[in-house]
């Protein structure tokens, strides 16, 4: 696996935040509970805790949303509406519904399950030595060649042939033609420059065309792919080099966290007695490989 291909998803779902609403008869009890910590707001005597507000804001910041007074006001407004609706549901006795009770229990279990995962991550931190070991392991598997090329992408084959005809008269005009005529917004401003890339990441037609070209040469026929018609200039190659460990430290940390959490969850499942309705015998879930 190349470092550039790390696609890390931290194990465990996002923490579900639940509010426990009460009817007017339980207002005193709620107020007493709220007194154990500061409240960001109260709704009909039911507290919206500052701790919950801060947690939701923290989650938002980690997802790229700003922590502003306006954002906090919006969250409080949403939580207040949730309390109001929950109170009305209790008044109607909806909390006694078997379906609702099952959902509430499932939510409780989800919160606890995610709390367990977060606690596991805190109590089993990834050390520098672990990072170095993983880095060297991945680095040892890295091999191959990086390619550097430019391309001009157009919608019609006739356009591509016209560009090729112009390049045959003036090969040095490739970058200018790319800026003028390419439809690839990601590369046209740079004269069609695609930078260094792993050839295996390209679509088959593009990959095959580059593989056949000599350095400094361009395709003398349009290369058709799902994106349109390409004129490709192959510029250079170099051996793949692993990036410095500092550049991939975050990815490696998440990779190791994901692996450790999966091993722990597999171990817990392996010791659990899981009985599936309709099955003749109890089923013990066998953990899958975490490699």
For residue 280, what pLDDT is reported?
Answer: 61
| Two tokens, residue 212 | 């056949």
Question: In this structure, are residues 17 and 56 in contact, taking their beta carbons and an 8 Å threshold?
Answer: yes
Q: What's the CA gap between 268 and 246, in Å, rounded?
A: 34
Two tokens at 75? 């969250």
Helix (H, G, I), strand (E, B) or coil at 93: coil
Tell the burial category of 273 from Cβ atoms under 10 Å away from its Cβ (0-12, 13-18, 19+): exposed
* CA 18 vs CA 62, 111, 217, 239: distances in Å: 19, 8, 62, 52
Under 8 Å between Cβ of 224 and 157: yes
The 10 Å Cβ neighbour count of residue 268 is: 12
Determine phi and psi for 277, rounding to 5 degrees.
-60, 130
Return all residues near 239 (Cβ < 8 A) that are at least 6 apart: 144, 145, 146
Q: What is the pLDDT of residue 281?
A: 53
**CB-CB contact of 150 with 179 (8 Å):** no
What are the structure tokens assigned to 206, written together? 């593009």
In tens digits, what is the pLDDT along the chain, a chain of 291 residues?
344 433 222 223 222 233 333 333 333 334 344 445 799 999 999 999 999 999 999 989 988 999 999 999 999 999 999 999 999 999 999 999 999 999 999 999 999 999 999 999 999 999 999 999 999 998 888 778 999 999 999 999 999 999 999 999 999 999 999 999 999 999 999 999 999 998 988 999 999 999 999 999 999 999 999 999 999 999 999 988 888 999 999 999 999 999 999 999 999 999 999 999 887 654 444 444 444
In the chain, residues under CATH classification 3.10.50.40 are: 144-239
CATH node for 144-239: 3.10.50.40
């Amino acid at each position: 696996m190349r470092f550039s291909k790390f696609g890390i998803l931290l194990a465990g779902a996002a923490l579900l935040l639940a509010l426990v609403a009460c009817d007017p008869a339980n207002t005193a009890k709620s107020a007493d509970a709220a007194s154990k910590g500061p409240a960001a707001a109260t709704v009909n005597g039911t507290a919206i805790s500052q701790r919950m507000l801060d947690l939701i804001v923290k989650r938002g910041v980690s997802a790229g949303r700003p922590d502003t007074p306006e954002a906090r006001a919006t969250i409080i407004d949403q939580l207040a509406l949730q309390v109001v609706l929950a109170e009305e549901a209790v008044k109607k006795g909806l909390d006694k519904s078997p379906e609702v009770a099952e959902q509430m229990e499932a939510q409780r279990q989800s919160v606890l399950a995610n709390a367990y995962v977060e606690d596991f991550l805190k109590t089993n931190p990834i050390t520098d030595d672990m990072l170095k070991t993983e880095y060297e392991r991945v680095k040892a598997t890295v091999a191959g060649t990086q390619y550097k090329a430019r391309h001009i992408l157009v919608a019609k084959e006739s356009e591509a042939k016209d560009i090729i005809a112009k390049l045959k008269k003036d090969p040095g005009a490739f970058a200018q033609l790319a800026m003028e005529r390419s439809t690839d917004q990601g590369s046209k401003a740079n004269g069609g420059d695609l930078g260094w890339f792993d050839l295996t990441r390209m679509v088959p037609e593009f990959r095959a065309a580059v593989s056949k070209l000599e350095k400094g040469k361009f395709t003398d026929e349009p290369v058709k792919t799902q994106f349109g018609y390409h004129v490709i200039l192959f510029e250079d190659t170099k051996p793949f080099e692993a990036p410095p460990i500092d550049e991939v430290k975050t990815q490696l940390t998440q990779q190791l966290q994901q692996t450790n959490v999966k091993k722990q969850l597999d171990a817990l499942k392996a010791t659990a007695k899981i009985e599936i309705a309709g099955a003749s015998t109890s089923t013990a879930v066998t953990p899958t490989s975490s490699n």
